[in-house]
């Protein structure tokens, strides 16, 4: 049996996002629809997070929650050794609202992102640029290493450059989830200021996400849609 998210995507492919929203919108409150539309309007796709070999499920979950809370739609996970697995109780459902992309190597992830117009940066404590002065005029992806070893040499080599998160105390590093939070919060804010808008979803992706998010709120949605649309 298809997973719920896969089944919803199949419904969107079959009937189109507008038809799903028309049917399912009658089952949602106006307040819920307004909330979905407000979040969609602030969804940012030109800033993205990538993490390598994150094996602690609580840090993985925190990364998901942080990514979603800052309005970033995509999270790339690089799994050369450790399978990215989040503690579902910690994500509090945030994993349902973002797109998770899995890669076997940093080289493949970086190549994919560059094809989409991103500059790809590694996070390093001794980087020349900080998150305050790195260029945000182009889409930007930031790679974070795991809890103990940081980024692998291969991941660093696959990037276009490196950035650091400023620190002002004796402590030499932040926890992974804190680093992700600090870096992505600031980069997302700077990118939004640059583009002059809270979000940048293209119309096609926005329509599909709207239909998906409508569907995620409806119990037994596959049967509901098939009865209504055949």
| 84-140 pLDDT tens trace | 665 555 445 677 899 999 999 999 999 999 999 999 999 988 888 899 999 999 999
List alpha helices for the chain, DSSP H: 4-15, 17-24, 30-41, 57-69, 88-91, 106-115, 153-158, 176-195, 203-216, 221-229
Residue 56 has pLDDT above 80, yes or no: no
CATH number for domain 44-200, candidates 3.40.1280.10, 1.25.40.20, 1.10.1060.10, 1.10.3730.10: 3.40.1280.10
Q: How far apart are CA 149 and CA 23, in angstroms?
A: 49
Q: How far apart are CA 67 and CA 188, in angstroms?
A: 10
Backbone angles phi, psi at 45, to 5 degrees: -110, -10
Place of tokens 């200021």: 193
Give the residue from 36, 14, 72, 93 showing the smallest Cα distance to 209: 36
Residue 49 has pLDDT above 70, yes or no: yes
139-148: average pLDDT: 88
Give the residue from 57, 225, 216 showing the smallest Cα distance to 146: 57
Q: What is the DSSP letter of 194?
A: H
**What per-residue confidence (pLDDT) applies to 63?**
86
**What per-residue confidence (pLDDT) applies to 168?**
73
How many DSSP H helices and E strands does the chain contain?
10, 7
Structure tokens at 205: 């992706």
52-70: average pLDDT: 84
Residue 80 has pLDDT above 90, yes or no: no
**What residue spans define the domains of the chain?**
1-43+202-230, 44-200
Say what the pTM is.
Answer: 0.89
Give the residue from 44, 94, 45 showing the smallest Cα distance to 65: 94
Instruction: Give the torsion sign (CA, 183, 160, 154, 64).
Output: positive
Helix axes 4-15, 221-229, angle to 10 degrees: 20
Structure tokens at 215: 């569907």
**What per-residue confidence (pLDDT) applies to 171?**
64
State the DSSP string of 205-220: HHHHHHHHHHHHTSTT
């Amino acid at each position: 049996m298809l997973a719920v998210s896969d089944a919803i995507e199949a419904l969107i492919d079959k009937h189109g996002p507008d038809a799903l929203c028309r049917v399912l919108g009658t089952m949602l409150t106006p307040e819920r629809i307004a909330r979905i539309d407000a979040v969609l309007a602030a969804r940012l796709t030109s800033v993205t997070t990538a993490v390598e070999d994150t094996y602690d499920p609580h840090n993985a979950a925190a990364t998901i929650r942080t990514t979603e809370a800052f309005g970033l739609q995509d999270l790339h996970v690089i799994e050369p050794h450790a399978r990215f697995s989040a503690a579902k109780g910690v994500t509090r459902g945030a994993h349902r609202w973002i797109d998770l992309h899995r890669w076997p190597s940093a080289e493949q992830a970086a190549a994919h992102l560059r094809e989409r117009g991103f500059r790809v940066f590694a996070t390093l404590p001794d980087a020349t640029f900080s998150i305050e002065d790195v260029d945000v005029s182009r889409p930007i992806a930031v790679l974070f290493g795991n809890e103990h070893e940081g980024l692998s040499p291969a991941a660093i080599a696959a990037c276009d450059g490196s950035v650091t998160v400023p620190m002002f105390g004796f402590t030499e590093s932040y926890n992974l989830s804190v680093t992700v939070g600090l870096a992505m919060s600031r980069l997302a804010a700077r990118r939004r200021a640059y583009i002059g808008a809270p979000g940048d979803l293209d119309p096609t992706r926005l329509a599909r996400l709207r239909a998906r998010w409508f569907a995620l709120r409806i119990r037994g949605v596959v049967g509901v849609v098939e009865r209504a649309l055949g």
